[in-house]
Amino acid sequence: MKLNKDLIQNIEKKLDESQEELNQLIQKLIQIRSYSGEEKDIVEFIVKTMQDYGFEEAYSDKLGNAIGRIGNGPLKIIYDAHIDTVRVTESEKWEFPPFEGKIAGGKIYGRGAVDEKPAMAGYLIAGKILQSLKNDDDFPFTIYVVGSVQEEDFDGYPLHHVIVNEKIQPDAVLLGEPTDMKVYRGQRGRMEMKITTSGISAHGAHNEKGVNAIYKMNPIIDKIEEMNKNLPVVEPLGKGSITVSNITSKGPSMCSVPDFCQVHIDRRLTLGETQQSAIKELKTIFLQSYSDAEIEVPKYKGESWKGTKFEVDAYFPTWVMDEKDTLVQSGLDTLASIGLQSESGVWSFSTNGIASAGQLGIPTIGFAPGKEELAHSSKEEIDLKELKTATQFYALFPFHLIEKIN
């Protein structure tokens, strides 16, 4: 099975026939509420759909990710779309109810309409088309469609679980985070840190006997604010950032000198910045301030809808694929073949790529409809025509990849 006129035409024809089904599928995926950690219903729906579409395997793994397989060929590709969403909060003003999946004027609206249910709808229909066209002896791919859970809170972990614990080791990964129909090839990393200063408590009436932990934290906060302005710009990811996101203190009472102060840090990491380098920079600040402050990277515990417990460090490494890399180039070729601009870009936010590319070194790119800046907002919407074009991309991409490799 090769990229030729017949194949391209067959895919186009099948896609035209599936247009209505694709629209209904994205609508259904939006209608099934799937907040992080509460993905049981959507996973069951996706597994059932994979079975109905003739996928050779369809199941939910130990963590609770939906996994489907098409083909059994030597080139292994994971198509990953996280199918959890952030919550709808009371302050959000929606034009249409967030779980109605309203279609109007050629667009669909709702929670997850950008981040990132369209990719799953596209993967499923592309999978169905490939499954119906393929000849078993002559299909050079194994395509795993993964609906990953809990990405919003534990970016990377669900895909790490698929690759490491479920032992599905792909040659390449395609992510379905919104890219506005471009090929994305990297993202800034991020981490969290806690800085603690300790003092000596004393009665407020005898404060000269104490050492105030808040005052010890003060120069550190000032220097962090200064540091944020001076972080290096490294293209294509731009500049990292550092933000004091929380402060707490403790003492024996409100009328005492506090002996404990702690700040929480959000750190975005550009190319060349790592957990070690970010910690080292802060330790330099402590030295400059003659401070004995302590620093740690917090751990987060999670539990999936299947009851599987896990723990992750709050460190999500930066990754970037070279523009000239085979995977990126095959993505750009696919764009050109369907009449789109061959343009690459990077995400501002974090994705499951931190596991595949950042931690495990597996070539990774992303492609999907939708604007990144609409994610997590009440303005989530995509154009249904773009969803159809994206589905065409998903069906054709493996053939462009194998052509580039051979």
Active-site positions?
84, 151
Residue 114 or 191: the one with the smaller Cβ distance to Zn ion is: 114
Residue 259 or 380: the one with the smaller Cβ distance to Zn ion is: 380
> What pairing do the DSSP bridges indicate for beta strands 189-198 and 294-296?
antiparallel
> What pairing do the DSSP bridges indicate for beta strands 309-313 and 183-187?
unpaired
Q: Which residues bind Zn ion (CB under 5 A)?
A: 115-116, 177
| Residue 352: HSE in the Cβ half-sphere, 13 Å Cα cutoff | 33
Provide, rounded to whole angstroms, the least separation between the CB of residue 371 and Zn ion: 12
φ, ψ at 235 (rounded to 5°): -75, 150
Provide, rounded to whole angstroms, the least separation between the CB of residue 93 and Zn ion: 22
Q: Residue with CB nearest Zn ion?
A: 115
Provide, rounded to whole angstroms, the least separation between the CB of residue 80 and Zn ion: 10
Provide, rounded to whole angstroms, the least separation between the CB of residue 369 and Zn ion: 13
DSSP structure class, residue 231: P
Number of other residues whose CB lies within 10 A of the CB of residue 200: 12
Do 225 and 174 form a contact (C-beta atoms < 8 A)?
Answer: no
User: Quick one: residue 102, left, alpha or beta (phi over 0 = left, psi -120 to 50 = alpha)?
Assistant: beta
Residue 115 or 380: the one with the smaller Cβ distance to Zn ion is: 115
Provide, rounded to whole angstroms, the least separation between the CB of residue 91 and Zn ion: 21
Provide, rounded to whole angstroms, the least separation between the CB of residue 242 and Zn ion: 23
Hey, is 170 helix, strand or coil? Answer: coil
DSSP structure class, residue 209: G
Enumerate the β-bridge partners of residue 381.
109
Upstream peptide bond of 236 is cis (omega within 30 degrees of 0): yes
d(CA 286, CA 220) in angstroms, rounded, equals 7
d(CA 373, CA 377) in angstroms, rounded, equals 8
Residue 148 or 318: the one with the smaller Cβ distance to Zn ion is: 148
* Strand residues in 120-179 grouped as ranges (E): 141-148, 172-175
What is the Cα Rg of the chain in Å?
24
